[in-house]
Chains A and B, each alone.
Chain A
Amino acid sequence: MFMLLLVMAIGLLDYVTGIEVSLSVVYAIPVSITAWYVGAVPALGLALLSVIVWIAGDLAAGLHPSNIMVPFFNALVRLVFYAFLTHVLVRLRYLQKNLEDLARVRAVALSHEIAERERLEREMLEISEREQRRIGQDLHDSLCQYLTGTAMAGQLLAEKLTRRELPEPREARKVVDLIEEAITLARGMAKGLHPVEMKSDGLMQALEEFCVSTSELFAVDCHFDCQMPVLIESQSTAIHLYRIAQEGVGNAIKHGRPTRIIVQLEEIEEGTQLVISDNGSGLPASAPSGNGMGLRIIADRAKMIGGRFRVDRGRFGGAELSCLIPHSQAAE
Chain B
Amino acid sequence: MTSTATKAKVFLVDDHPLVREMLKSLIEQQPDMTACGEAEDAAKALKGIAADKPHVAIIDLSLKESSGLELIKQIKHRHPLVSQIVLSMHDEKLYAERAIRAGARGYVMKRESTKQIVAAIRAVRGGKLWLSETVSDAFAQRFVAAQPQAGSSLESLSDRELEVFNLLGKGLPTRQVAQSLNVSIKTVQAYCARIKQKLQLSSATELLREAMHWHESVG
Contacts and interface: CB of A to CB of B under 8 A. Distances in A.
> Chain A CB within 10 Å — which of B91, B173, B207 has the most?
B173
Nearest to B205: A204
A152 B193 contact: no
Interface string A149-167: 1111111100110000000
B16 interface: yes
Interface string B72-105: 0000000000000000010101100000000000
Interface stretch (A24-32, A81-89, A223-231, A235-243): A223-231
B90 to A, nearest CB: 9
B23 A152 contact: yes
Nearest to A327: B175
Interface string B11-35: 0000010110111011001000000
A325 to B, nearest CB: 12
Contacts of B184: 269
Contacts of B193: 227-228
A228 B164 CA distance: 11
B114 interface: yes
B179 to A, nearest CB: 11
Given A201-B208, A230-B174, A267-B175, A152 B114 contact: yes
Interface residues of B, number: 38
A228 B114 contact: no
Contacts of A176: 114-115
Q: How large is the interface on A (under 10, 10 to 19, 20 to 34, 35 or more residues)?
A: 35 or more
B114 A180 contact: yes
Interface string A167-200: 0000000001000100110010000000000001
Contacts, number: 117
Contacts of A231: 171, 173-174, 208
Nearest to B25: A156
Interface stretch (A117-125, A139-147, A276-284): A139-147
Given A183-B110, A205-B94, A212-B93, A155 B115 contact: yes
Contact of A145 (B16, B93, B94): B16
Given A149-B21, A209-B91, A269-B185, A227 B192 contact: yes
Contacts of A266: 189
A152 B188 contact: no
B57 interface: no
A230 B113 contact: no
B26 A152 contact: yes
A96 to B, nearest CB: 55
B118 to A, nearest CB: 9
A208 interface: yes
A268 interface: yes
Interface string B159-183: 0000000001001011100000000
4 shortest interchain CB distances as A-B pairs: A149-B18, A152-B22, A228-B192, A145-B16
15 contacts: A146-B16, A146-B18, A148-B16, A153-B25, A159-B29, A184-B111, A205-B94, A208-B94, A228-B188, A229-B207, A229-B211, A230-B174, A231-B208, A267-B174, A267-B185
